[in-house]
C-alpha cells in the first residue's frame, strides 16, 4: 500500500536544539542514488552548508562506518525500503532522528521499482534472475508504509533547489513550505507547448510542480513523479485522457511512478 | 509615415531601449524581446502570450531580512518599450496600472516602461477579436492609457498619436514631430459605464446556483493555465525563500484555481470545490473588478480558451449565463 504522507514537522523540538549546528544524514536505501547525486549537482551550495549544518552521514561523500545509535536532527531517506536490512535501518533511523524526510519519488510513492507490483512478481523475478538462488523478491513499498514520515521532498530525482531551501529553512527555524501549484503552472509560465492540448498524455494538471516542468521542456509528457497536488482534479483529467486513450493505455503512464495507487 | 520610416522609428527605439514586440514564430505570433525592427509582426494577430511578465514578473523579490536588518530590493530596470500592443492588451495594461497604483514595486518598474500601441483600425480589430466585453465606440483611445499609438492605414502608411508626456518625449527624441495628441479622459466614458460591462455583470452576478458551474466542474482540470496566460489576472502569492543569511521575500503569480489560493491559517479553504473556483473566476472578472473600477476585468482576448486543455470558452459561457432559458 502506498500512502502520501502528510507534511508534519514538530518544530519546537527542533528549534530548542538549534543552539548547536543541525545534524543531518542523507541515507540511501535500495535506489539508483540519483537523488543523492542531484544534491551534488550544486557543489558550491553543498560545501557552504557546513557553516550551518553538520552532515554527519552521507555515504556518497565519505566512507566511515556509522554506529546504529547515531543521532540526527533530520534524516533524508532516498530509495525504497526493500531488503530486511533496509527495513531494519529505517526503523532505527526513525528512533534516532527528530524528523524524517522522504527524499525523492522512491521513498515518497514507491518510485520506478514499484512497477513490479503491478505484474506477477515471480514471473518478473524469473525472467530477470533466471531462478538464481540467494536473491530475495521483496514487495516494493514507500517509506510511509513503514514509519512516520514528517516531510516529503518529491521528484525523480529531487530538486536540489528544494533540498537546499529545506535545509536553509530548518536552519533559521522556519516551517518548510510546500509548493502546491501543478506542473502546468511552471509549464505555462515558461511557454512550453501543451502536450495535453496536442493529444498526448500529460499528468501535469494533477501533479505537484517544483521541477520547473523539466520534462515538458524536452517535449516529454509529465508522468507524475512528484505525486499529487492538494485538490487534484484526477477524475476530470482521466476523462480528458479517455477521449483519446483506453484505460489500459492510461494506466501504463500511471504505473511508472506509482501514481496509480495514490489516486485510488 | 511609410513603412520605411516606421522601421527607422523602431530601429531608433531598439538602439536605446529594451524592446518587446509581437513576432511571428512557427505559425504563431508571440511577444518576445526583439533585436531587429524587421522581426515585428504588423498584422495585429492576437499573440499567444502577453506583456504581463514585463510589468509584473512571474516571480519578483521584494526585500530581504538578514538578522535584524531589512533590505529593500527595489531595483531599476533598463528602459523598456512594449511595442505593438493591441487595443485589448492596452486595456489590460490600463487595468494593471490601476490595480497596482499604490504598489511601489510595480510603479518603480512602470516608470521605465513605455507602451506603444498598434492597430490596423480599432473597429476592425473589435470584429477580428470578437470583442465581447465592450461595444465599439469611436473615442475608445481616450479611455485607455498608452504613451504612443500607431495606426496602420489601408494604404500601408502609419499615423501616430501620443497619449502622455512620456510618449511625446519619446516621439520627439526620435525626431518625430507629426503626431496627434490624445488626452486620457479617465476609465469611464462620458456617457457612463459601457453597457456590455453592465450586461456581463448582470449575467454573472447571482448566477452561483446556475447549472453551468456544475457542468464546467465536470471537465475543468484546475490547471490554472487560463490565469497564467490572462493579461488581466494579477493575483500573486507571497513566498519566503530562505538563504544561508536570512529570508528573501518574493511574490509570484498565482491562480484562484490553486489549492493554496484561499487557504487560511487554520487550513480552511473558501474555494473548496471546483464549481466555486470557476464561479469565483468569473465573479472576479465580471462583477468585482467592474464594481471597484467601473472597468473591464476581462478584455476578451480569448487566450484563456486557447490554452485550456478542455476548451472552456469564456465567451460561450457568458452567453449561456445571459440567455433567459438557461437561467434557473
Ligand atoms: S504540457 Fe502538461 S504540464 Fe504543460 S501545460 Fe500542458 S498539461 Fe500542463
Ligand atoms: S514534469 Fe512531471 S514527471 Fe517530469 S519531473 Fe516534473 S513532475 Fe516529474
Ligand atoms: S485552463 Fe481550462 S482546465 Fe485549466 S483551470 Fe482554466 S478553465 Fe480549467
Ligand atoms: S478572455 Fe480570458 S484570457 Fe482574455 S482577458 Fe478575458 S479571462 Fe483573461
Ligand atoms: S481572482 Fe482569479 S480570475 Fe481574478 S485575477 Fe486572481 S487569478 Fe485571475
Read off the pLDDT of each residue in A125-129 and give the average, rounded to a whole number: 88
Separation CA B142–CA B126 (nearest Å): 16
Would you say B74 and B272 are in contact if contact means Cβ atoms under 8 Å apart? no
Whether pLDDT at A206 is above 70? yes
Check whether the bond before B122 is cis (ω within 30° of 0).
no
The rounded distance, in Å, linking the Cα atoms of B59 and B56 is: 8
Ligand 2 neighbourhood includes A147 CB (under 6 angstroms): no
What residues of chain A lie within 8 A of the CB of B309, using their CB?
194, 196-197, 205, 240
Nearest CA among A215, A97, A200, A204 for reference residue A157: A215
pLDDT digits over A157-167, tens only?
A: 999 999 999 99
Span B179-202, average pLDDT: 91
Does residue A182 contact residue B223 with C-beta atoms inside 8 Å? yes
Spatial separation of the C-alpha atoms in residues A72 and A96, rounded to whole Å: 6
Residue with cell 514499484: A114
What pLDDT is stored for residue A200 in this prediction? 98
Whether the ipTM is more than 0.90: the answer is yes
Cβ proximity of B156 and B121 under 8 Å? no
From A204, A190, A2, A143, select the one nearest B221 (Cα to Cα).
A204
Joined together, the cell numbers standing for residue B130 give: 470578437
User: What's the pLDDT at A2?
Assistant: 44
* A65-69, B216-220, B287-291: least confidently modelled range: A65-69
- Mean per-residue pLDDT for B26-35? 96
What pLDDT is recorded for position B192? Answer: 86
Domain ranges of chain A: 11-171, 183-263
Testing ligand 2's pocket by substitution, the residue of A195, A225, A256 carrying the most ligand atoms inside 8 A of its CB is A225
Q: Check if A258 contacts B (Cβ < 8 Å).
A: no
Report how far Cα A15 is from the mean position of its chain's Cα atoms.
25
What spacing in Å lies between the alpha carbon of A242 and ligand 1's midpoint? 16
Give B186 Cα–ligand 2 centroid separation in angstroms: 47
Q: What is the dihedral of CA B55, B57, B58, B63, to 10 degrees?
A: -130
Residues with CB under 6 A from ligand 1: A 183-184, 187-188, 192, 194-196, 202, 204-205, 213, 216, 222; B 223, 225, 309
Mean pLDDT over residues A112-128, rounded? 86
Q: What is the largest CA-CA distance in chain A?
A: 58
- Is B249 in contact with B65 (CB distance < 8 Å)? yes
Of the bound ligands, which one is closest to the alpha carbon of residue B219?
3
Which ligand 1 atom sits nearest the alpha carbon of residue B223? 8
Average pLDDT of every residue of chain B: 94
Lowest mean pLDDT among A106-110, B101-105, B162-166, B241-245: B241-245
- Provide the pLDDT for residue A1: 37
Tens of pLDDT, residues B304-327: 999 999 999 999 999 999 886 555
The confidence score (pLDDT) of residue A113 equals 84
Burial of B315 per CB tally in 10 Å (0-12, 13-18, 19+): middle
Residue B110 CA to ligand 2 center (angstroms) comes to 35
Helix (H) or strand (E) holding A261: helix A259-262
User: Above 70 in pLDDT, residue A105?
Assistant: yes
Q: Ligand 4 center to residue B230 CA distance, Å? A: 5
- Partner-chain contact B242 A240, CB within 8 Å: no
Give the model confidence (pLDDT) of A38-86 as tens digits: 999 999 999 999 888 999 888 877 777 777 888 999 999 999 998 899 9
Mean pLDDT of B81-107: 97
- Whether A139 contacts chain B with CB within 8 A: no
Determine contact, residues B229/B307, Cβ cutoff 8 Å: yes
The reply to whether residue B242 touches residue A171, judged by beta carbons under 8 angstroms, is yes
User: What are the residues facing B31 on neighbouring strands?
Assistant: B22
Confidence of residue A16 (pLDDT cuts 50, 70, 90): very low
pLDDT attached to residue A239 = 98
Task: Please say if the pLDDT value at position B146 is more than 90.
Answer: yes
Predicted confidence (pLDDT) at residue B42 exceeds the cutoff of 80: yes
Cell 515585428 belongs to which residue? B40
* Closest chain B residue to the Cα of A236, Cα to Cα: B219
- Hunting for cell 525504497 — which residue is that? A80
Q: Which atom, in ligand 1's list, is nearest to the CA of A197?
A: 6
Between positions 81 and 120 of A, the ones with CB within 8 A of B are: none
DSSP state of B193: S
> Closest Cα of chain A to B116: distance in Å?
24
Is residue A3 pLDDT above 50, yes or no? Answer: no
If one residue of B222, B306, B309, B312 were mutated to test the ligand 1 pocket, choosing by the most ligand atoms within 8 A of its CB, it would be B309
Q: Which CATH architecture has domain A11-171?
A: 3-Layer(aba) Sandwich (3.40)
Res. A98: pLDDT tops 70: yes
Amino acid at each position: 500500500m502506498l500512502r502520501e504522507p502528510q507534511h508534519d514537522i514538530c518544530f519546537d523540538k527542533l528549534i530548542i536544539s538549534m543552539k548547536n549546528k543541525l545534524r543531518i544524514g542523507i541515507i540511501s536505501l535500495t535506489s539508483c542514488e540519483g537523488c543523492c547525486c542531484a544534491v551534488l549537482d550544486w557543489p558550491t551550495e553543498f560545501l557552504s552548508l557546513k557553516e550551518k549544518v553538520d552532515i554527519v552521514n552521507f555515504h556518497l561523500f565519505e566512507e566511515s562506518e556509522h554506529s546504529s545509535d547515531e543521532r540526527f536532527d533530520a534524516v533524508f531517506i532516498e530509495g525504497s525500503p526493500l531488503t530486511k536490512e533496509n527495513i531494519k535501518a529505517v526503523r532505527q533511523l526513525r528512533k534516532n532522528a527528530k524528523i524524517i524526510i522522504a527524499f525523492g519519488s522512491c521513498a515518497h510513492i514507491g518510485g520506478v521499482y514499484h512497477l513490479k507490483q503491478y505484474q506477477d512478481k515471480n514471473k518478473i523475478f524469473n525472467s530477470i534472475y533466471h531462478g538464481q538462488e540467494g536473491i530475495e523478491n521483496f514487495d516494493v513499498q514507500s517509506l510511509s508504509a513503514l514509519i512516520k514520515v514528517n516531510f516529503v521532498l518529491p521528484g525523480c530525482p529531487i530538486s536540489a533547489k528544494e533540498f537546499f531551501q529545506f535545509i536553509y529553512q530548518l536552519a533559521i527555524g522556519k516551517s518548510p513550505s510546500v509548493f502546491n501549484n501543478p506542473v502546468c503552472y511552471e509549464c505555462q509560465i515558461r511557454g512550453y507547448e501543451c502536450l495535453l492540448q496536442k493529444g498526448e498524455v500529460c499528468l501535469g494538471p494533477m501533479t505537484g510542480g517544483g521541477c520547473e516542468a523539466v520534462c515538458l521542456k524536452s517535449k516529454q509528457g509529465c508522468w507524475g513523479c512528484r505525486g499529487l497536488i492538494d485538490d487534484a482534479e484526477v477524475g476530470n483529467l482521466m476523462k480528458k485522457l479517455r477521449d483519446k486513450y483506453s484505460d489500459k493505455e492510461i494506466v501504463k503512464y500511471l504505473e511508472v511512478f506509482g501514481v496509480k495507487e495514490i489516486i485510488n | 509615415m511609410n513603412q520605411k520610416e516606421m522601421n527607422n522609428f523602431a530601429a531608433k527605439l531598439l538602439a536605446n531601449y529594451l524592446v518587446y514586440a509581437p513576432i511571428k514564430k512557427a505559425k504563431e505570433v508571440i511577444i518576445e524581446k526583439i533585436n531587429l525592427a524587421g522581426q515585428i509582426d504588423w498584422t495585429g494577430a492576437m499573440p499567444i502570450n502577453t506583456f504581463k511578465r514585463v510589468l509584473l514578473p512571474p516571480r519578483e523579490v521584494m526585500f530581504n531580512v538578514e538578522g535584524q536588518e531589512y533590505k529593500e530590493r527595489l531595483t531599476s530596470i533598463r528602459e523598456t518599450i512594449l511595442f505593438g500592443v493591441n487595443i485589448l492588451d492596452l486595456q489590460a495594461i490600463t487595468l494593471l496600472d490601476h490595480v497596482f497604483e499604490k504598489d511601489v514595486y510595480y510603479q518603480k518598474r512602470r516608470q521605465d516602461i513605455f507602451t506603444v500601441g498598434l492597430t490596423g483600425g480599432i473597429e476592425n480589430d473589435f470584429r477580428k477579436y470578437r470583442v465581447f466585453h465592450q461595444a465599439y465606440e469611436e473615442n475608445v483611445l481616450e479611455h485607455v492609457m498608452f504613451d504612443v499609438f500607431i495606426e496602420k492605414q489601408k494604404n500601408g502608411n502609419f499615423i501616430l498619436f501620443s497619449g502622455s508626456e512620456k510618449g511625446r518625449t519619446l516621439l520627439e527624441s526620435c525626431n518625430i514631430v507629426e503626431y496627434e495628441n490624445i488626452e486620457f479622459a479617465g476609465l469611464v466614458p462620458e456617457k457612463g459605464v459601457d453597457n456590455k460591462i453592465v450586461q456581463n455583470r448582470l449575467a454573472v452576478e447571482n448566477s452561483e446556483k446556475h447549472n453551468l458551474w456544475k457542468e464546467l466542474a465536470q471537465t475543468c482540470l484546475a490547471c490554472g493555465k487560463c490565469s497564467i496566460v490572462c493579461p488581466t489576472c494579477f493575483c500573486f502569492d507571497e513566498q519566503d525563500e530562505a538563504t544561508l543569511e536570512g529570508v528573501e521575500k518574493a511574490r509570484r503569480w498565482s491562480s484562484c484555481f490553486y489549492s493554496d489560493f484561499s487557504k487560511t491559517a487554520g487550513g480552511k479553504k473558501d474555494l473548496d470545490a471546483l464549481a466555486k473556483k470557476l464561479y469565483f473566476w468569473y465573479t472576479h472578472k465580471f462583477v468585482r473588478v467592474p464594481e471597484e473600477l467601473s472597468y473591464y476585468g476581462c478584455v476578451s482576448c480569448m487566450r484563456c480558451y486557447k490554452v485550456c486543455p478542455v476548451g472552456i470558452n469564456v465567451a460561450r459561457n457568458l452567453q449561456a449565463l445571459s440567455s433567459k432559458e438557461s437561467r434557473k
